[in-house]
A and B are shown apart, each in its own frame.
Chain A
């Protein structure tokens, strides 16, 4: 009896979760296959009739004719690779200083930096936009590179890296300093190589959050050839207002890279969220 009850419970559990998982991923599956549907099928067909019939790449063709989608993708790829690298360098340097070096005022500075996390981004949105205008950084990549180095996300990275550095035994760097290593050398060839797991975690989260970033790039970038994909997509929405098939094709292009990164590093993603709660957007 108990055995049977367990078995039924198990079946109910898995059946429920398979349905729920299906609800979670069906919009993605639908979007990918439907982006190959004709306009007629998209507007009149049944949304659970998953296969495109007939199959067409018209939506992608039209989207790319309307706007330089591939250019958007390229911009986003470059930005979401290099900005995180810079963020990591800046954040781990500061983290090293906070974790290992002694100097007056260290704790106050650290607390001040952490207080940035309390200030929501929308308060600094307008003044930062005006700073960009004054510096003539509007519509230049530098506006997407420099301000993110000290945004809340990177301040969190400092905190995260500091915790990680504190978990590495200090004897390692003491020994190196006695051997005549400079502090920079200790940082670059002892602490950084030992912090690889933490660095990887930050890198994959930063990649996805950079790839998905929207509000700031939308405000500071105006010309198509410099826009990241999410901003381009919002322009595509306006351009394709009469036919949403193109927008769907664009959305699939904007979704696929993060899904690939996620599926290849899913263990990292899930472990990190479970262990640290990191991964807020």
Chain B
């Protein structure tokens, strides 16, 4: 074989070996991505298509699937529970997103540029709740919110309150309780992301502002905030998705109670699919949730690109 190749004119040999090598490279390339590709087609492409098919059927896994057209979607819009769940989700978005944004941004600004043992300790303790399991942490927070001798109410009693909230047992306070717990759990992560954003702001900007006599607020308003807008935008999207996906804390702390006031979209999907065995209905819910998230993200991207245009 090699003899044959060697007998050919030199340039031909080169291009042939190059071709052979390129083919070999392509084959290796495909072999290396093959495991991921197979999994991608089964667990993502097929799943997404299959999920939309299931959403047009009625199916409890035991009896055969019945095609029912858009009945599930119609039913969802007439389902009072669904509107309550949607209201709860909106509540979580409006409660959680701004509070985490403000808390984590303030923490990051306060910690920015300070590197020593103590600030490192602060970072560690703020990040700690993020890496621990939400299931276990929620079980602990059941005690924090305990109306009689939980930490919060004990503190409230100590500073003189007598009419303390019943937290997880109360329809008005259960949602704020979950929000407080989530803010506590996730703000460390976003604080670190804001810190990353702050590090990219050139110090010369602040120096120039100081020369011009700008006060702290002005510096924050006209330098920090605009320079952080990328990070803020990204974190806002992540937080909205997170608010839609509140599940584990609800599963452990309230199971959607009291009176459905903490029922979230993901919990409702789980309940319909795996407790009531309404696979079609649950799939339709999942699609509605997906479309809502997609539209929300899309709108944010649009608003942002408009804002950027108007700046010029």
Q: Do A and B come from one complex?
A: yes
Q: Which residues of A contact B (CB under 8 A)?
A: 13-14, 16-17, 20-21, 23-28, 30-31, 34, 42-48, 90-91, 93-94, 96-98, 101-104, 106, 109, 112-113, 116, 118-120, 122-131, 133, 146-147, 149-151, 154-155, 158, 183-184, 187, 208, 211-212, 214-215, 219, 230, 233-234, 237, 244, 247-248, 250-252, 254-255, 258-259, 261-263, 266, 269-270, 273-275, 277, 279-281
Closest-by-CB residue of A relative to B108 is: A274
Q: Collect the chain A residues with CB atoms within 8 Å of residue B274's CB.
A: 129, 219
B188 interface residue per 8 A CB criterion? yes
- Interface segment among B67-75, B191-199, B302-310: the answer is B191-199
Q: Mark B274-310, 1 if CB is under 8 A from A, else 0.
A: 1000010011001101100110000000000000000
Q: Collect the chain A residues with CB atoms within 8 Å of residue B241's CB.
A: 120
CB-contact partner of B39 in A96, A149, A208, A275, under 8 A:
A149
Q: Collect the chain B residues with CB atoms within 8 Å of residue A125's CB.
A: 269, 273, 286
Asked if B196 and A47 make an inter-chain contact with CB atoms under 8 angstroms apart, the answer reads no
Asked if B132 and A123 make an inter-chain contact with CB atoms under 8 angstroms apart, the answer reads no
Q: Collect the chain B residues with CB atoms within 8 Å of residue A124's CB.
A: 43-44, 47-48, 51
CB-contact partner of B269 in A25, A91, A122, under 8 A:
A122
Q: Collect the chain B residues with CB atoms within 8 Å of residue A212's CB.
A: 131-135
Closest-by-CB residue of A relative to B285 is: A122
B183 to chain A, nearest CB (A): 11
Tell me the number of A-to-B contacts counted with CB atoms below 8 Å. 268
The size bracket of the interface on B is 35 or more
Q: Which residues of B contact A (CB under 8 A)?
A: 22, 25-26, 28-30, 32-33, 35-37, 39-40, 42-44, 46-48, 50-51, 54, 61, 107, 110-111, 118-137, 139-144, 146, 149-151, 154, 184, 188-189, 192-193, 195-196, 199, 234, 238, 241, 244-245, 247-248, 251-252, 266, 269-270, 273-274, 279, 282-283, 286-287, 289-290, 293-294
CA distance A142 to B163 in the complex (A): 52
Q: Collect the chain A residues with CB atoms within 8 Å of residue B286's CB.
A: 122-123, 125-126
Q: Collect the chain A residues with CB atoms within 8 Å of residue B125's CB.
A: 21, 24-25
CA distance A129 to B277 in the complex (A): 12
CA distance A47 to B266 in the complex (A): 33
Q: Collect the chain B residues with CB atoms within 8 Å of residue A250's CB.
A: 136, 139
A271 to chain B, nearest CB (A): 9
CA distance A122 to B184 in the complex (A): 25
Q: List 22 A-B contacts (CB under 8 A).
A: A20-B126, A27-B129, A46-B154, A93-B32, A101-B28, A113-B40, A124-B47, A125-B273, A125-B286, A126-B279, A127-B48, A128-B43, A149-B36, A150-B39, A212-B133, A219-B274, A234-B251, A237-B139, A248-B139, A262-B127, A269-B127, A273-B196
Q: Collect the chain A residues with CB atoms within 8 Å of residue B36's CB.
A: 90-91, 93-94, 113, 149-150, 154-155, 158
Asked if A123 and B51 make an inter-chain contact with CB atoms under 8 angstroms apart, the answer reads yes
Closest-by-CB residue of B relative to A263 is: B124
Asked if B128 and A230 make an inter-chain contact with CB atoms under 8 angstroms apart, the answer reads no
Asked if B32 and A96 make an inter-chain contact with CB atoms under 8 angstroms apart, the answer reads yes
What are the 6 tightest A-B residue pairs by CB atom distance, in nearest-first order? Answer: A150-B39, A103-B26, A97-B32, A101-B29, A212-B133, A254-B136
Q: Collect the chain A residues with CB atoms within 8 Å of residue B141's CB.
A: 27
Q: Collect the chain A residues with CB atoms within 8 Å of residue B44's CB.
A: 116, 119, 124, 150
CA distance A248 to B135 in the complex (A): 11
Q: Collect the chain B residues with CB atoms within 8 Å of residue A42's CB.
A: 143
CA distance A77 to B114 in the complex (A): 37
